Chains A and B, each alone.
Chain A
Amino acid sequence: MRGCRRWQLNEHFDRQYLLNYTNFTTTIVAQAGKGLFVKQPLLSLVNINKFFGDFHVLKDISFDIRQGEFLTLLGPSGCGKTTLLRCIAGLESVHSGDILLNGSSIRGMAPNKRNVNTVFQNYALFPHLNVYDNIAYGPRVKKSMGEGELKGKVADVLELVQMLGYEKRMPHQLSGGQRQRIAIARALINEPAILLLDEPLGALDLKLRKHMQTELSQLQKKTGTTFVYVTHDQEEALNMSDRIVVMDQGVVQQLGSPRDIYNNPVNYFVTTFIGDRNILQVKVVETSETHAQVQFGEHVVTIRNSGQHRIEEGQTAILAVHMDKMRVSCEQTANAFVGEVLSVHYAGSQIRIRIKVGNKSITVVEYQKIDCDCEAGDQVYVTWEDHGATLLPPEDGWAEGEV
């Protein structure tokens, strides 16, 4: 019996060790021949369902969060992303499914027992405690360290968020950005397995938001903490994340790297939600392994076909092209739409050109000097970068009249 328990302890130790130093222990463990090493996700969500009354907020959500990554939950407001975050934190209960942290279920566990910490949207600093006491709150209630050790730790996390010297300030004496940093420091001092951030930059002004984006991703790299970040701002998500989970109406629409999400949207929702695209209804003429010939009005053009969708010849399909990956040219070019320029807007660093192609109006965003100095009324040729275009089968939610 005693031996058995000791063995369990050893195994537990090994697991912790593995999780913390996955990379270089792989070989060590393999050499030790224990065969224990399985690349386990840090957190697994397994078929999570959640209702608010009759409203089905989270529908069968399953995905894994990897050790050390910056994962973003992205979606329009009301898509369930914050609810999902709160379920991980333990502030909301789930109706079915399971949440596994390091392989063991934390479903039903009280929030104070979970090794995850949250940075709330409005920071939620304790108004009656100064910065030092706010940060020291976690270790103090958990009695995880003595006051001497605590002092050093608070200084460490304050340095991490560049707020040394603010220990004695009260929360109401701090600016929004400063409160934000203290909220992050207060969570990080607990050394959580996962730091959950609920739209933490939402209340800041644009300039500060951009600055904090950089700082947050630097902080994430420096501490190696796994970040799960909730936002409705796609630019924020694309800038900071290792992986993005796009959500809508309580369903995970797509999970992938920012590049993947941006260039290869899997469905109509992701296509319209991420980036600015021109969306056209086309007729598929011919398909090959990598490309498809489609017809739009009198134009027949060749489009990249990623092969992840079933595109059938003779059917209608949705052609979506990034506005900023299209080019306007005055000379006749192959594989292009011909159209008439409706208007040209100079918007700082970019030039937005509206062009009438067939019976549709499309927008082209140019950043550099345009090849063709066109004016309204000119006839131009519109081309695009191969990977800027996506071909999708028509689906529910796609309304012809909208486009």
Chain B
Amino acid sequence: MRMKTSRFGTFYLSLFFVILYLPVLSVILYSFNASPSTAQWTGFTLDWYRTLFEDRVIAASFRISMEVAVITSIVSAILGTASAVVAMRSTAGMKRAIQGVMILPLLIPEVALGIALLIFFNLLNLPFGHFTLVASHSLFCVPYVYIMVQLRLKEIDRSILESARDLGATRWQATRTIILPLVTPSIITASLLALAMSLDDVIISTYMSGPRTTTLPVHIFSMMRVGVTPKVNALCTLILVGMFFVVGLSQLFTKKRHKEDL
């Protein structure tokens, strides 16, 4: 009886993963398909990757995406960490207020957020481009950094900070020499997450992109209008590999962090 349940469990789980990952696998597979149609497999080729790298528009939008993502992750790392540190030092009421403000962007539907930002930036007469993209991406990335850093701060024993003060450190010195080194792994993990989220955001980026600043996901979306070409498959495969790399890197930092704990 027991055996049967466990066998069913294994089967169920396998099915689950197959259904989940089959489409992803097919994207990778078809990126190497010689035929431009997804209907049949006619042979192995790297042609799609070659045309991909020759495509200037894709290269340009990739560059924009990367620039926006890197700046976004830096901005949200700074803002998120600062808010978490301030929240830690605040009274209970203030802490709750900061928490609320931080979580809010995650609760607002992205479509609504996008439209709101569009109207807002339009009103301010700001040109849509790098700035609007970074500002809007930071809006939904800061909360993730805040949450992750705040979780780490909670783990830090309060008496460590007290002993730093006791030994002669000013508030700022204690923050710089004790808190920041202890939360750095969390900050790095969180900013890699922010990088990943900024890189694959479509909805808000659609609203925020300027005429010459289309991000990669927005461009892919527009390419889809003329049908899925194997070039898109090739591009998605590369993005997938890139993301795995980023996530793997962040895992590495999480591991290192646990080693240091007493």
Q: Interface on A for B, CB 8 Å cutoff?
A: 89-91, 110-112, 117-118, 120-122, 124-128, 137-138, 141-142, 170-172, 186-187, 190
Q: Does B167 contact A (CB under 8 A)?
A: yes
Q: How far apart are the CA atoms of A117 and B168 in the complex, in Å?
A: 9
Q: Which residues from A are CB-within-8-Å of B166?
A: 89-91, 111-112, 117-118, 187
B162–A120 touching, CB < 8 Å: yes
Task: Give the most central of B160, B168, B178, B182: most A CB within 10 Å.
Answer: B168
Among B164, B177, B182, which residue has its beta carbon within 8 angstroms of that of A127?
B182
B157–A112 touching, CB < 8 Å: no
Interface of B is mostly: helix
B262–A112 touching, CB < 8 Å: no
- Return the chain A residue nearest B173 by Cβ: A141
A118–B163 touching, CB < 8 Å: yes
Known contacts A127-B262, A128-B182, A172-B262; is A137 also within 8 Å of B167 by CB?
yes
8 more A-B residue pairs beyond the given contacts A127-B261, A128-B181, A141-B169, with a C-beta to C-beta distance below 8 A: A91-B165, A112-B165, A112-B169, A120-B163, A124-B160, A124-B163, A125-B160, A127-B160
Q: How far apart are the CA atoms of A111 and B262 in the complex, in Å?
A: 25
- Return the chain B residue nearest A142 by Cβ: B168
Task: Give the most central of A89, A118, A128, A186: most B CB within 10 Å.
Answer: A128
Known contacts A171-B262, A172-B262; is A112 also within 8 Å of B182 by CB?
no
Q: How far apart are the CA atoms of A128 and B185 in the complex, in Å?
A: 12
Nearest-neighbour CB distance to chain B for A111, whole angstroms, equals: 5
Q: Which residues from B are CB-within-8-Å of A141?
A: 164, 167-170, 173, 177
Q: How far apart are the CA atoms of A111 and B168 in the complex, in Å?
A: 7
> Contact string, B245-262, partner A, CB cutoff 8 A, digits 1/0?
000000000000000111
Within 8 A of A (CB), among B40-55: none
Q: How far apart are the CA atoms of A125 and B261 in the complex, in Å?
A: 11
Within 8 A of A (CB), among B131-187: 157, 159-160, 162-170, 173, 177-178, 181-182
B168–A138 touching, CB < 8 Å: yes
Nearest-neighbour CB distance to chain A for B46, whole angstroms, equals: 47
A122–B157 touching, CB < 8 Å: yes
Q: How far apart are the CA atoms of A137 and B161 in the complex, in Å?
A: 12
Q: How far apart are the CA atoms of A53 and B112 in the complex, in Å?
A: 45
Q: Which residues from A are CB-within-8-Å of B182?
A: 127-128
Known contacts A127-B261, A127-B262, A128-B260; is A111 also within 8 Å of B160 by CB?
no
A selection of 21 A-B contacts at a CB cut-off of 8 Å is: A90-B166, A91-B165, A112-B168, A112-B169, A117-B166, A117-B167, A118-B162, A120-B162, A122-B157, A124-B160, A124-B163, A125-B262, A126-B160, A126-B164, A127-B160, A128-B181, A141-B168, A170-B260, A186-B167, A187-B166, A187-B167
> Contact string, B45-69, partner A, CB cutoff 8 A, digits 1/0?
0000000000000000000000000
Q: Which residues from A are CB-within-8-Å of B169?
A: 112, 137, 141
B167–A138 touching, CB < 8 Å: yes
A111–B159 touching, CB < 8 Å: no
Nearest-neighbour CB distance to chain B for A55, whole angstroms, equals: 18
Q: Which residues from B are CB-within-8-Å of A186?
A: 167
Q: How far apart are the CA atoms of A138 and B169 in the complex, in Å?
A: 7
Nearest-neighbour CB distance to chain B for A48, whole angstroms, equals: 19
Q: How far apart are the CA atoms of A120 and B166 in the complex, in Å?
A: 10
Q: How far apart are the CA atoms of A187 and B162 in the complex, in Å?
A: 13
Q: How far apart are the CA atoms of A165 and B165 in the complex, in Å?
A: 27
Q: Which residues from B are CB-within-8-Å of A190?
A: 167-168
Q: How far apart are the CA atoms of A171 and B259 in the complex, in Å?
A: 12
Q: Which residues from A are CB-within-8-Å of B173?
A: 141
Q: How far apart are the CA atoms of A112 and B170 in the complex, in Å?
A: 6
Nearest-neighbour CB distance to chain A for B192, whole angstroms, equals: 20
Nearest-neighbour CB distance to chain B for A199, whole angstroms, equals: 12
Nearest-neighbour CB distance to chain A for B188, whole angstroms, equals: 14
Q: Which residues from A are CB-within-8-Å of B167?
A: 112, 117, 137-138, 141, 186-187, 190
A122–B159 touching, CB < 8 Å: yes
- Return the chain B residue nearest A121 by Cβ: B159
The 5 closest A-B pairs by CB, nearest first: A138-B167, A124-B163, A124-B159, A142-B168, A141-B169
- Return the chain A residue nearest B259 by Cβ: A172
Q: Which residues from A are CB-within-8-Å of B163?
A: 118, 120, 124, 126
Q: How far apart are the CA atoms of A187 and B164 in the complex, in Å?
A: 11
- Return the chain B residue nearest A89 by Cβ: B166
Q: Which residues from A are CB-within-8-Å of B168?
A: 112, 138, 141-142, 190
Nearest-neighbour CB distance to chain B for A166, whole angstroms, equals: 16
Nearest-neighbour CB distance to chain B for A402, whole angstroms, equals: 38
Nearest-neighbour CB distance to chain B for A352, whole angstroms, equals: 40
> Contact string, B17-40, partner A, CB cutoff 8 A, digits 1/0?
000000000000000000000000
Q: How far apart are the CA atoms of A183 and B157 in the complex, in Å?
A: 15
A172–B160 touching, CB < 8 Å: no
Among A112, A120, A170, which residue has its beta carbon within 8 angstroms of that of B159?
A120
Q: How far apart are the CA atoms of A318 and B57 in the complex, in Å?
A: 97
Task: Give the most central of B166, B260, B261: most A CB within 10 Å.
Answer: B166
Known contacts A127-B262, A128-B181, A141-B177; is A110 also within 8 Å of B162 by CB?
no
- Return the chain A residue nearest B169 by Cβ: A141
Q: How far apart are the CA atoms of A91 and B162 in the complex, in Å?
A: 7
Nearest-neighbour CB distance to chain A for B45, whole angstroms, equals: 51
Nearest-neighbour CB distance to chain A for B160, whole angstroms, equals: 5
Q: Which residues from B are CB-within-8-Å of A126?
A: 160, 163-164, 178
Q: How far apart are the CA atoms of A121 and B159 in the complex, in Å?
A: 9
